[in-house]
Structure 1
Amino acid sequence: MKISEILKIPVMKNAKLIAGHNGKDREVFSVNMMDAPDIIDFLKPNELLVTTAFHLKDNPNDLLALIKNMADQQCAGLAIKMKRFLEEIPEACLKYANEKNFPIIELPIEVTLGEVVNQTLSYILDKRTNELLNAIEIHQQFTNHILRGKGLVSLLENLANLIGCPILLLDQHFRMIASSSSVTSSLPEIEEMYTDGFRFFLQPSSYTCFSIISSKRTVSVFPIYTHESNSGCLIVFDAIPFHNPSLVLTIEQATNVISFELMKKNALKQHKRKVQNEFFINFTDGAFQSKEEIVIKAKEFKIRNDQSYFCAAGKLDERKKSLTFTQFHKENERIFEFMEKEADAFPNPVHFFVKGNIGILLFPIQKSWLELHSSIMPFLKELQAKIRSRFQRTVSFGIGSLCQQFLDVKKGYKEALEVLEEEQYSGNQEFIQIHKKKDIYTLLKMIPKEELIDFYEQILTNLSDPADSEKQALLQTLFLFLENHCHISETAKKLFVHRNTVIYRLEKCEELIGKSLKDPEATISLRLAFRIKNLLQL
């Protein structure tokens, strides 16, 4: 309740605002009545003090100190019953109150302070009660709106009409989910709100206002929270004043209903995603009995078999900072969710799947395989840049060869995974590598798996201990040494170590495998062993 409204209640009929006229819009949350020297210690912001100035009757000059302290504490104002103990207010007090826009009210002699306090509090409580009842009514209205299935767009339109401002709803990545029809003219301004700095405007359980530089237009931001903490925000294209609780409550009720609607949609999306992932996992693992069964089930997810595809497998690059299992899972989930939403913006519908810690993007080809370089590669590069900027993580992609139909995607996925793991094993990061057919792999696939494993264990058995970090370092050094045509300097560059370290490691490898790396037959056997390792994912 404002000072100007308080002056209109019956008990304040003959009261006068004698100073701080420009502060009559100050909000009054409560009223305090007290006559004590240490009264300032008991006052709160937005509190109106009603007093007879009894404690100031012997020293009226102390009134200036009281007014200064009240102004500093953001009190609403001071109401003094004149002619009781204080004949007049010093000119210095009136001058300071006018400078600080601090309201001073002169109460008439005929009213008691008890009447002033009781009637003022009664009006404040009545107003708060009406605001709460209105908030409950609006909440019920918005809830019924959603329950009838009218959706978020209609809800935002309703809210925009109630408050008279355009409304925009953004997700946690600051992409537009929905908006009122009146926000169309403001779309060029929205791009400025997609910067990384925008997220710092969101504070828990509060809202804030800021201005868009280009248009100098003020917007108000209301965070939306679900079980996943921040789930986005509601943008109101106007300044929503903090001292207008009725308007603030109306918008906050809308954000509460929106949060429940988003949770419902998220639950449905999670279920759909789980079913899609299970289908893709079963497909790539060969769990289906026939090709016809695969084609029929693929149709359920709008995947056509008579369509060409490129399959890209993405994986987060390793980071120095170790994470717990839960932290690692949540980070992957957040980034994969971001990748999925980015895929929605691709010109052609992209199918997204998750298999363990691998994100799979299935790109349909409309015209020719040249789309790989004209649209798919630029999209993946832009996606890498966005993930690096937003999450401070890097991601790498392996791309399989062109799949003439969906049934060939199983092979395309394995090719993408193969090239992805091969490049990451070599220590490369944030790459996009296309699979190239290798004759050696074709030959190895013709050999029974058991014999390949026997050969691998015979050659690298003393180096292939996953639990031994030292042996793993030796194994990686040996692999890069062979891949770089036995050039020690090039190997050292790839490993970011001194060439003497490489020499030492290679000598250790010779000791463990019992063969000289200068022996051509030994290096051929080692190269084959590493190819078998990649092929069988040993």
Structure 2
Amino acid sequence: MKTLNNLFILDAMKDCTVIAGHRGLTRNVQFVNISDTPDVIQYLDNNHLLLTTGYAFKDDAQELCNLIRQMHNLNCTGIVIKINRFLKELPEEVKLLANELAFPIIDLPTNLTLGELSRHILNYLNDDKAEQLYYALHVQKEFSDMMIKEYSLNSLVEQLGHFLNRPAMLLNHRGEKIAQSHDFRKDSMQILELEMIHAIKNDLPLGRQGGTFTIPSSEGLSIATFPVQTKRQHNSMLVMVDASTLPYPSSQMAIEQAGNVISFTIIKEQAIEENTRLLKNNFFADLIERRIHSNEEILSRTHYYGLDDKLDTICIICTIDPEGDNYDALQLYEKRIAELHNSIYDQLEDEIVNNDMDAILFTKEKYFVMLLQFSNYNETEIERVTEFVESAQRNLQDGDITISFGISNLVQSPIDIPNAYYEAVDAIMNGYDLNKFGFINFYRTREIDELLTTLPRKDLKALYENTLKTLAYPNTKEEIDLVKTMETYLDCQCEISETSRRLYVHRNTVKYRIEKMEQLLNCSFRDPTDSLRIRVALLIGTILESEG
């Protein structure tokens, strides 16, 4: 980019005189505006050079001072003004302000029109743009050749730093370093590197879309980020130090062209990663389905993927809840489903990294599966896992889609991962059985009554009636007393004395009732099988009664 000082090589500028703000001649110039209106500030912007006769300010030096302040705040280049046309001389207060702000004011001789000067400057700037475009295409060709030759990302970033004579760095979408030019290997650059990464991580949205950051410890130094598109939801970032003063004919256009090639290289590497991910998914699917029969192979392969057989493991699965119009719409568009699943997978990876969890992530059918390992799975770790899952759920869900999580109990060996997986699935299904969505469930062993409620009502009723026969629906006082005695007798572990004490009846009465029930039901309460059937039947009776 050209500076105001560069314009003095033009014949049209040779007779011009800088009358104030000499220190600002290094300001960049990209555009030229001609105006004599008082509201000209509305049409000016960054790197704009104003050409004017000064007519609007011939009797108002203060208004000219206001214009200079406003242009300085917009980072405009300066003012070229025909002093002798209307002002005759530059007011002293204007000159003092321009010197203070390092804002150049240049006197244009009356024999040259503003239009002629504008044409000369624009032609010069346009030729500059053409040369920068040619150089950008040259950079793009060089980088394309390097990509075809399979240069690494670090080599590409190294070459970019060499071409532009600026330190360069490549960060992923989380602000983590992927590659850097050799400049950052110097001891003097270590602190700058940390400050650069810290500044970008503090405002990742700006970094991902491309922005400028200042470095507090280096006065006047700035860094610029350029978005690098990948297959992920968020962009990676190419970072250049002091990109606003690139040496001619370098330009941001050249950086963007190099960024495109770097983008293709990252996408190629991501395709390789997806193939690796597929192999991992296939292995864990075989493990969960118990298609691997060798314990040695299981331990070897899980160790390859980062599991330690000396640590305990829990399984966390999450899935998109199957409800709502948006979910139904997704079922019609396989491509949209694939994009959504890839996005969730990427975000789960980010959550694992951001929460510093020791986890392996893979997918099985509709489930995203995470295996987490611990040396001591205590209350503190359980709380940490809960916070991790809650954070992931908040960040994954949006207005149309809810995400649910199931968390298994601990298993002590990778060989038992299938048990942990099915516990986590069961925790998910328990939530759905209760018509819940967007939930987090820890697995627990189901009680007998919970298991019974999952059976069809007609089957429960049949078992209840066949077991208790005429006592299934007691009507007379004698039948009611018999059922009450049966429940108490079983609760007392078939101890007659304890049963009689609880019922406030004589023990012979209890013995009589027990003998009569055993005849009615054709069973023996002391037989474990008969006792279990009767206990289950009584429990079913409670369930049927509660359901009405």
**Coarse TM-score class (shorter-chain normalised):** 0.5 to 0.7
State the partner residue of 1:253.
Answer: 257
Q: TM-score, normalised by structure 1?
A: 0.63
Structure 1 residues 455, 402: CA separation in 2 closer, same or farther (over 3 Å shift)?
farther
State the partner residue of 1:15.
Answer: 16
Q: Decide which of 55, 62, 66 is 1:68's aligned counterpart.
A: 66
How many Å separate the matches in 1 of 2:542 and 2:245?
70
2:427–2:442 contact (8 Å) kept in structure 1: no
SS in 1 for 2:243: coil
Structure 1 residues 270, 37: CA separation in 2 closer, same or farther (over 3 Å shift)?
same
Q: Which aligned pairs between 1:381-400 and structure 2 lie closer than 5 A?
A: 385=387, 388-389=390-391, 392=394, 396-399=406-409
Q: Decide which of 411, 414, 421 is 1:401's aligned counterpart.
A: 411
Are 2:203 and 1:198 aligned?
Answer: yes
1:224–1:234 contact (8 Å) kept in structure 2: yes
**Identity across the alignment (%):** 23
For residue 170 of structure 2, what is the amino acid of its counterpart? L
Q: What's the Cα RMSD here?
A: 5.3
2:318–2:368 contact (8 Å) kept in structure 1: no
The alpha carbon displacement at 1:354 in A equals 0.8
State the partner residue of 2:362.
Answer: 353
2:176–2:197 contact (8 Å) kept in structure 1: no
How many Å separate the matches in 2 of 1:22 and 1:122?
25
User: Alpha-carbon deviations, 1:485-538, whole Å to 9, x = none?
Assistant: xxxxxxxxxxxxxxxxxxxxxxxxxxxxxxxxxx96456449999xxxxxxxxx
The alpha carbon displacement at 1:18 in A equals 0.4
Q: Which consecutive unaligned segments of at least 5 residues does structure 2 have?
A: 331-335, 396-403, 463-533
Q: Which aligned pairs between 1:147-158 and structure 2 lie closer than 5 A?
A: 147-158=148-159
Q: Which aligned pairs between 1:23-62 and structure 2 lie closer than 5 A?
A: 23-34=24-35, 43=44, 45-53=46-54, 55=55, 60-62=58-60
For residue 208 of structure 1, what is the amino acid of its counterpart? T
User: Alpha-carbon deviations, 1:102-130, whole Å to 9, x = none?
Assistant: 32211234544444222221211122222
How many Å separate the matches in 2 of 1:275 and 1:87?
81
Moved more, 422-431 or 250-259: 422-431
The alpha carbon displacement at 1:265 in A equals 2.5
How many Å separate the matches in 1 of 2:89 and 2:454?
103
1:314–1:358 contact (8 Å) kept in structure 2: no
User: Alpha-carbon deviations, 1:347-372, whole Å to 9, x = none?
Assistant: 99975321244333457xxxxxxx74
1:308–1:404 contact (8 Å) kept in structure 2: no
Structure 1 residues 71, 388: CA separation in 2 closer, same or farther (over 3 Å shift)?
same
State the partner residue of 2:316.
Answer: 314
Are 2:273 and 1:269 aligned?
Answer: yes
Are 2:425 and 1:417 aligned?
Answer: yes
Q: Which aligned pairs between 1:313-462 and structure 2 lie closer than 5 A?
A: 313-316=315-318, 324-325=326-327, 333-340=342-349, 352-361=361-370, 372-374=374-376, 385=387, 388-389=390-391, 392=394, 396-399=406-409, 401-403=411-413, 405=415, 409-418=417-426, 458-459=459-460
How many Å separate the matches in 2 of 1:385 and 1:49?
57
1:170–1:232 contact (8 Å) kept in structure 2: yes
The alpha carbon displacement at 1:28 in A equals 2.0
How many Å separate the matches in 2 of 1:232 and 1:359?
24
Q: TM-score, normalised by structure 2?
A: 0.62
1:156–1:180 contact (8 Å) kept in structure 2: yes
State the partner residue of 2:244.
Answer: 241
How many Å separate the matches in 2 of 1:527 and 1:304?
49
2:208–2:237 contact (8 Å) kept in structure 1: no
1:311–1:413 contact (8 Å) kept in structure 2: no
The alpha carbon displacement at 1:2 in A equals 1.8
State the partner residue of 2:90.
Answer: 89
How many Å separate the matches in 1 of 2:542 and 2:289?
28
Are 2:231 and 1:231 aligned?
Answer: no
How many Å separate the matches in 2 of 1:323 and 1:380?
35
For residue 211 of structure 1, what is the amino acid of its counterpart? I
How many Å separate the matches in 2 of 1:194 and 1:113?
43
SS in 2 for 1:18: strand
How many Å separate the matches in 2 of 1:440 and 1:37?
86
How many Å separate the matches in 2 of 1:357 and 1:521?
36
Q: Which aligned pairs between 1:211-226 and structure 2 lie closer than 5 A?
A: 211=215, 219-226=223-230
How many Å separate the matches in 1 of 2:219 and 2:38?
51
Structure 1 residues 317, 346: CA separation in 2 closer, same or farther (over 3 Å shift)?
closer
Are 2:132 and 1:127 aligned?
Answer: no
How many Å separate the matches in 2 of 1:400 and 1:413?
11
Structure 1 residues 139, 232: CA separation in 2 closer, same or farther (over 3 Å shift)?
same
How many Å separate the matches in 2 of 1:337 and 1:103?
51
1:32–1:50 contact (8 Å) kept in structure 2: yes
How many Å separate the matches in 1 of 2:63 and 2:221?
40
Structure 1 residues 421, 403: CA separation in 2 closer, same or farther (over 3 Å shift)?
farther
User: Alpha-carbon deviations, 1:272-317, whole Å to 9, x = none?
Assistant: 434543554466457x6x859x979x97996799978966432349
State the partner residue of 2:480.
Answer: none
Moved more, 184-193 or 65-74: 184-193
SS in 2 for 1:264: helix
How many Å separate the matches in 2 of 1:527 and 1:212?
72
SS in 2 for 1:27: coil
Q: Which aligned pairs between 1:167-178 and structure 2 lie closer than 5 A?
A: 167-178=168-179
User: Alpha-carbon deviations, 1:120-174, whole Å to 9, x = none?
Assistant: 2121112222222222222222222222111111112222334455444332233
Structure 1 residues 105, 181: CA separation in 2 closer, same or farther (over 3 Å shift)?
closer
The alpha carbon displacement at 1:68 in A equals 3.1
SS in 2 for 1:241: helix
How many Å separate the matches in 2 of 1:63 and 1:439?
89
